[in-house]
Amino acid sequence: MNGAERPTLAVFKFASCDGCQLSLLDCEDELLALAGAVRIAHFTEMSRTRVEGPYDVALVEGSISTPEDAVRIVEVRAASRRLVTIGACATAGGIQGLRNFAAHGEYLGTVYAHPEYVSSLETSTPIADHVAVDYELHGCPIDRGQLLEVLTAALAGRRPVIAGHSVCQECKGRGTVCVLVARGTPCLGPVTRAGCGALCPAVDRGCFGCFGPADTANTESLGGRLVGDGLAPADLARLFRTFNANAGPFREASLAQERVAVSLGSTRVGPSRGVGR
Amino acid sequence: MTHGGNGNRTIGVDGLARVEGEGSLRIEVHDGQVVDVALEIFEPPRYFEALLRGRRHTEAPDITARICGICPVAYQMSACAAIEAACGVEVDDRITALRRLLYCGEWLQSHALHVYLLHAPDFLGCADAVELAERDRAAVTRGLDLKRTGNLVMATIGGRAVHPVNVRTGGFYRAPSVAEVQGLAEPLRRARDAALATVEWVSGFEFPDVEGDYRFVALHHDTNYPIESGRVVSSDGLDTTPAGFADLVVEEHVARSTALHARLAGRDAYLTGPLARYALNQATLPAVAREAAGRAGLGPVCTNPFRSIVVRSVELVVACEEALRLVAAYEPPEPPARDVPPAAGAGTGATEAPRGLLFHRYVLDAEGFIEEARIVPPTSQNQLTIEADLALVAAGGLDLSDADLSWRCEQAVRNHDPCISCAAHFLEVAVVRS
């Protein structure tokens, strides 16, 4: 097969769980066709082959959390014509970004007996904090249908068609009864970006924000409603503070609710002791 | 690059491919003797044990799922088992059965990924599954079909293939309908045929003549092949509870790795995973899987690590057969979850992730807040044994060129399906000949 004429695709991993790049391997019906349409030039999890850049499209999974990775991402950017970040780690710092709310030294000593062996930054930050990013695909994990759309668009040189509205519209679309209105179940659907297909309400569970804030997320309004329904501010702070804890509107909302919780005498918001830095 | 021979050399592989996560491998050969091997894990630390502190007990399954996108169900199931043990809650048989069915989906998905996309290309001299597909498209298609069926089981029961949303402490948010679950029967029957074909296919590969001296550790259950529960047993006579086992595991932090190295107190290195499960659980191997193993030439114990691909394929048959049994017997749990009221105390949960034993231990306060978390993934437990394998494989392969020896050493690591993302909680390879 003549690989030289096909556009090249590279996949790079930073701090992450591998789940988003697995979503590419999970495209069982499209994987071999994709491998025919592009030349997979660098994808360590899948292949021993490693072709030097430049790459036409680079998919980047994971957050920047070590000094070495802060250097490596600049090299990846320089080698990539289009750089697309995939998943909550790459777009928002990920669950490991909870360290941004606490004192780092405290974390390191909890896990490792010899902190001096470990090279780690005090923060876990999204790729876009370090280099220019051409497109961000959200989700923890990303949706493989959206991934295929982003790849198709990137190869065609157009913007991907990905909605920025909230999970609520997906619930309406699939005819799921609103768990918040009908049962009072705390749900982040009104402020969370669509893309998963509204999976949680469909299993009688409130949305927990895997896809991060929607384009016009009114977290204050939702927060008022949830607290009014009896959710403790500390629990609401925790609800905003998971995989997308450092995405702007979720971060602000969790810090605001934490301040309320502390004023009410609660200190157990997790992970911080008191109000975040 | 130096040439093969019995002199001094260093062989290194930077960025070990076809494993989950980031690591490297170094082998030092001096005067024709392997003097040092190191599996170096560079995966950035993510501090799960720390960030779980101060979270509610009910949050552990969703947070710890994010340790690994390949085996999130293993994390969710071990977390649930540990939290439920801490709170003194036992779930009913229907919930246990549904958990086992979900877990079968993960075994199918993960084992199919490893056998077809990560491991088989080594035996056939291919860089990856795409190159393999150019030679044998039917084989790769069969692997992808198996993987798709695993994902289908996970999505049907768990709501999503990666990081399922339907799991909670005490059970599930919603019990799938009988019709939804029975819809899995036909794809699972096709998958069982594909799994049997897989065993036959991989049993025809050529295997380097290597036998490891393993201390196997696995869960053991009187009536079922171990997946979601059991006692912890070893090939040298250990038989204890998950909590008793956790007390025996000593973890060390060494300079070359952001994964902790585990040893058993008084026993040293050990191996978990398919080879261990298979050796320690012959009695509960479903008949169709035992017959397939027999046709593939596997005895009751397999100590050639390269043949782990055959054992893993036999476990594909196990997962399909078990899933079919559970689908046929499915009755929705009512309610779908037991309440898990918080209670002060400690709890340990152990389950069999596709790549080996995974245990969690939590200490909760009276309100259910996590005070301490300890998570010991299979790759941490296997790391010392993987290094012992590397020494053995390198010593037996000194006549090979550096390139061929590097590849064989990479393969020796892949034999155990390490998950570096889990282990750092791990891979690059270097052979040093000086």
Domain-embedded: residue A234: yes
Please state, rounded to an integer, the average pLDDT across all residues of chain A.
Answer: 90
Is residue B204, in this structure, part of any structural domain at all? yes
Beta bridge partners of A82: A57
Give the minimum alpha-carbon distance from A182 to chain B in angstroms, rounded to a whole number. Answer: 16
Which of A101, A123, A156 is the C-terminal boundary of a domain?
A156
Residue B96 lies in a domain: yes
Rounded CA separation A22/B69 (Å): 7
Contacts of B401 (CB under 8 A, 6+ apart): B1, B3, B4
Q: Please, are residues B345 and B141 in contact by the beta-carbon 8 Å criterion?
A: no
d(CA B192, CA B321): 7
Helix (H, G, I), strand (E, B) or coil at B162: coil
Q: What is the pTM of this model?
A: 0.94
> Mean pLDDT throughout A91-110?
80
> Which of A198-212, B186-200, B300-314, B413-427 bottoms out in mean pLDDT, i.e. has the lowest?
B413-427
Please report which helix (H) or strand (E) contains residue B246, including its range: helix B242-248
Q: Write down which residue in A121, A156, A191 finishes a domain.
A: A156
Domain assignment of residue A174, given as a range: 167-263
- pLDDT for B68-81, tens place per residue? 999 999 999 999 99
Residue B316 resides in a domain: no
Give the integer Cα–Cα distance in Å for B41 and B62. 25
CATH code of the domain in which B178 resides: 1.10.645.10
Domain shared by A94 and A175, yes or no: no
- Residues 147-166 (A) with a CB less than 8 A from some CB of B: none
Q: Cβ B253–A112 below 8 Å, yes or no?
A: yes
Distance CA B269, CA B271 (A): 7
- Is B172 inside a domain boundary? yes
pLDDT > 90? residue B241: yes
Domain membership flag for residue A270 = no
Task: Scan for tokens 């559970």, then name that residue.
Answer: B326
| End residue of a domain, out of A126, A156, A186 | A156
Please, what's the b/e burial string for A160-173 (b: 16 or more CB within 10 A of its CB; e: otherwise)? bebeeebbbebbee
Least confident of A258-267, B155-164, B167-176: A258-267
Per-residue pLDDT band at B32 (split at 50, 70, 90): confident
Kindly report the average pLDDT of chain B as a whole number.
91
- Verify that A107 and A176 share a domain, yes or no: no
Residues 6+ apart with CB under 8 A from B205: B120, B123, B124, B309
Write the pLDDT tens digit of every residue in A149-181: 999 998 888 999 999 999 999 999 999 999 999
Q: Does A271 contact B133 at a Cβ distance shorter than 8 Å?
A: no
Question: Is B145 within a domain?
Answer: yes
Please report whether residue A198 resides in a domain: yes
Same domain, A152 and A198: no
For residues B206-215, one letter each, b for 16 or more C-beta atoms within 10 angstroms of the residue's C-beta and e for the rest, the string is eeeebebebb
Least confident of A102-106, A227-231, B94-98, B234-238: A102-106
* Nearest residue to B431 via CA among B17, B41, B26, B23: B26
Q: Could you report the per-residue pLDDT of B369-415, keeping only the tens digit for each?
A: 999 999 999 988 998 999 999 999 999 999 999 889 988 998 999 99
Residue matched to tokens 């479903």: B286
What is the residue whose two structure tokens read 């790549």? B355
Range of the domain at B170: 58-208+329-397
- Residue A203 counted as domain residue: yes
Q: Are A67 and A119 in contact (CB under 8 A)?
A: yes
A133 shares a domain with A12: yes
Task: Quote the number of domains for chain A.
Answer: 2
In a domain, A277, yes or no: no
Among B22, B45, B67, select the one facing A13 at the smallest CB separation. B22
Given an 8 Å threshold on Cβ–Cβ distance, is B161 in contact with A26?
A: yes
Q: What is the ipTM of this complex?
A: 0.93
A270 in contact with B, Cβ within 8 Å:
yes
Q: What would the mean pLDDT of B206-216 be, rounded to a whole number?
A: 96
Contact call for residues B314 and B301 (beta carbons, < 8 A): no
Partners of residue A117 in chain B, C-beta under 8 Å: 253-255
